[in-house]
Amino acid sequence: MISASGLSFAYGRSEVVRDVSLSARSGRVLGLIGPNGSGKTTLLRLLYGSLRPASGTVSVDGTPLEQLNARQTAQHLAVVVQENGGETTMTVAEMVLLGRGPHLGTFARTSTADEEIAWTSLQRVGALHLAPRSFAGLSGGEKQRVLIARALAQQATHLLLDEPTNHLDIRYQHEILALVRDLGTSVVVVLHDLNLAARYCDDLVLLEHGRLVGQGPAEEVIRGDLIERVYGIGVERIEHNGQVHLLFNPQIGERSSEEFSTSTP
């Protein structure tokens, strides 16, 4: 489990995460949602140690994150971020094999078993055919699938992803998130698409201006009134075949904003 308590962080004088506490439980997918600038990616970076909080703590399976060295952290946390390292000269196969690094001794070479894990990871994201290709020459969607394969090859106990469906067409958005959901480990994922969040996340954390304004099971956080207030757009929540869907009406959001501005002194 990944747990955070009282996390705050600021870039200079601009506080972007304010007193956020959460838990990512084993076997469940926790989605971080909120409008642009709400602090989702910053919070994710705090959870995997890329940023150090101004206050608060992060623990991984009961151990404070700051007590884990780089190799131990990589054995616990696999991270997929939007930066894609497109200038590398590595092949796709070599890129995915990097995921085996935390399990190798100093100067150790990858084994046949490591290669099999890498091939299986590529196959699971539908990218095995890309193995001999240059990573730099891939499309954005192909690169994203390869980076997820590298995270799977890492075989960490927790997976953290920043917008993993970015650049993917609709089919692969659903395939990747379905795959992530079925991994059976704790997952933390930043998502902009609220309908994808409602479909594939077990739990959600909703941020607004760096503050936690909604937390709990997805079906409880994806409420029309709450989403409408935070995002400033009209929302109608419907359920079809047991799935929650949100329909958006920008005109309602615009009218609500105008009414608010005219009624505010």
Residue type, 195: N
- Selected from 3.10.20.30, 3.40.50.300, 3.50.50.60, 3.40.50.1010, the CATH number assigned to the domain covering 2-217 reads 3.40.50.300
Angle between helices 224-231 and 250-263 (to 10 degrees): 70
Strands 14-24 and 186-190: unpaired
- Give the other-Cβ count within 10 Å of 22's Cβ: 19
Task: Calculate Rg over the CA atoms of the chain.
Answer: 20
Distance CA 32, CA 39 (A): 9
What tens-digit pLDDT sequence spans the chain (265 residues)? 999 999 999 998 899 999 999 999 988 999 999 999 999 999 999 999 999 999 999 999 999 999 999 989 999 999 998 755 557 889 999 999 999 998 887 667 888 999 999 999 999 888 999 999 999 998 878 888 899 899 999 999 899 999 988 878 898 889 889 988 888 788 999 999 999 999 999 999 999 999 999 999 999 999 999 999 999 999 999 988 888 889 998 865 554 445 444 444 4
Distance CA 179, CA 176 (A): 5
- Give the other-Cβ count within 10 Å of 29's Cβ: 26
CA torsion sign for 236, 214, 207, 43 is negative
Contact 227, 56 (CB under 8 A): no
| pLDDT of res. 260 | 44
Its pTM surpasses 0.95:
no
Q: Is 219 helix (H, G, I), strand (E, B) or coil?
A: helix
CA atoms within 13 A on the CB side of 90: 15
Residues 6+ apart with CB under 8 A from 208: 34, 35, 38, 230
Contact 124, 169 (CB under 8 A): no
CATH 3.40.50.300 range(s) for the chain read 2-217
DSSP bridge pairs for 10: 15
Calculate the dihedral angle through the C-alpha atoms of 114, 148, 49, 88, rounding to the nearest 10 degrees. Answer: 80
Q: Is 242 helix (H, G, I), strand (E, B) or coil?
A: coil
| pLDDT of res. 265 | 44
